[in-house]
């Protein structure tokens, strides 16, 4: 493996290169301050390699760039599945003949993410760290390549793509209510795990495009490019430059730059609203008062009859009313303007679990 020198400033804001008109724009800090952000993650190639070797529960594979070329068929255009602010993504397969002694369940379908050199520092450091955090609701990090000028991370492949692509598609079959609740629960479990890890992590950019689905619609969190170490000791928050996505970011974080786990809870509430209503968090094609989903829907969430009027019409009233009303109340609490009044992610999980089993024969749609 060649020398891997980390270059560039890892903390800067970018808008996804494949952004569409309906996509929420990235938040950028109004100031030019360049404060140093505390980070407990490895800061150089030697520390990254040491972390990889110490990872017992989820050992990472150090790929050569030639191996990645074989996996992606030389990064052919027909292997390209996406791209964004943190790099291009290719699909491919890993087989045992790739390398002698490689222990995998073949053929292993993977997503290969090629990073720009200037953003690789933060993404590589954090995601290699997250490789230690094995959880069914986090996209699994399989390996990496840090050879010469190449900066690549290899993940498990998520065949159904993002929740965003299903929820707002005009051609796909609408997600049924039960699937939406399954996604909500899985994503909540992923966030709860990050928040309660030995070294807590704040996701900071929780949104439907960062929730990926496997073949059974199990939700997994991806794209940890903006994730941040949580506060430790007696600290109540992390002070950081303002980064994230309009429509999802918590108002107190936008105003102060103070980041807490409750910032993620607010973003979760917005995603819950999107699952409930089928609307984008920010949609400038709608009337002015309805463009910001959270602001428009918030006063309706506690009104049992009115909330049924904002449920996604593509569900064709095929949903359990009580579950909808309880989900709306949960979103209401997540979106509280007072961060301390928002529930913990583990409490959100506890609230959602019974809703998965709600007997639909006991409820009827309000007509």
Active site members: 205
Residue 38 in tokens: 């505390």
Angle value at C-alpha 37, between 89 and 11, nearest 5 degrees: 35
**In whole angstroms, what separates CA 234 from the centre of its chain?**
27
Residues 239 and 202: beta-carbon distance below 8 Å: no
Residue 166 in tokens: 């299903």
Q: What is the DSSP letter of 175?
A: P
Closest Cα to residue 90, out of 106, 73, 107?
73
Residues 88 and 151: beta-carbon distance below 8 Å: no
113 assigned ligand-binding residue = yes
Residues 259 and 225: beta-carbon distance below 8 Å: no
Helical H runs in 170-217?
Answer: 177-195
Which helix (H) or strand (E) segment holds residue 62: the answer is strand 61-62
Q: Which residues contact 237 (CB under 8 A, 6 or more apart)?
A: 231, 258, 259, 260
Q: What is the DSSP letter of 216?
A: T
3-state secondary structure of 27: strand
3-state secondary structure of 282: strand
Interatomic CA distance for residues 213 and 210, integer angstroms: 10
Helical H runs in 249-318?
Answer: 251-256, 261-277, 293-297
Interatomic CA distance for residues 365 and 322, integer angstroms: 9
State the angle between helix axes of 261-277 and 177-195 in degrees (0 to 180), rounded to the nearest 10: 170
Q: Which residues are documented as binding site for ATP?
A: 113
Q: Which residues are documented as binding site?
A: 113
């Amino acid at each position: 493996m060649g020398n891997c020198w980390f270059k560039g400033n890892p903390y800067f804001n970018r808008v996804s290169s494949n952004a569409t008109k309906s996509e929420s724009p990235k938040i950028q800090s109004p100031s030019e301050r360049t404060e140093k952000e505390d980070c407990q993650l490895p800061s150089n190639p030697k520390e990254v390699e040491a972390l990889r070797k110490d990872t017992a529960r989820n050992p990472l594979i150090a790929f050569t760039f030639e191996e990645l070329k074989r996996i992606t068929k030389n990064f052919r255009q027909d292997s390209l599945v996406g791209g964004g602010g943190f790099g291009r993504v290719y699909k491919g397969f890993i087989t045992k003949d790739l390398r002698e002694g490689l222990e995998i369940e073949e053929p292993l379908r993977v997503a290969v993410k090629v990073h720009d050199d200037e953003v690789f520092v933060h993404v590589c450091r954090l995601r290699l760290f997250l490789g230690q955090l094995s959880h069914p609701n986090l996209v699994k990090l399989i390996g990496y390549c840090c050879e010469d000028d190449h900066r690549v991370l290899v993940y498990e492949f998520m065949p159904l793509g993002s929740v965003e692509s299903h929820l707002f598609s005009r051609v796909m079959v609408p997600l049924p209510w039960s699937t939406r609740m399954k996604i909500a629960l899985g994503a909540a479990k992923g966030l709860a795990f990050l928040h309660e890890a030995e070294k807590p992590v704040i996701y900071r950019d929780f949104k439907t495009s960062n929730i990926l689905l496997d073949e059974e619609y199990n939700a997994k969190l991806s794209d940890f490019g903006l994730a941040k170490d949580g506060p430790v000791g007696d600290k109540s928050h992390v002070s950081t430059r303002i980064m994230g996505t309009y429509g999802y970011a918590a108002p107190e974080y936008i105003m102060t730059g103070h980041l807490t786990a409750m910032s993620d809870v607010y973003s979760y509430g917005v995603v819950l609203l999107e699952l409930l209503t089928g609307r984008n968090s920010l949609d400038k094609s709608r009337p002015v008062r309805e463009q910001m989903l959270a602001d428009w829907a918030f006063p309706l969430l506690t009104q049992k009859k009115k909330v049924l009027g904002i449920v996604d019409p593509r569900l064709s009233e095929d949903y359990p009313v009580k579950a909808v009303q309880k989900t709306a109340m949960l979103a209401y609490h997540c979106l509280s303007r007072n961060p301390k009044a928002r529930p913990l992610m583990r409490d959100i999980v506890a609230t959602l679990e019974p809703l998965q089993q709600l007997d639909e024969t006991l409820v009827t749609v309000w007509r």
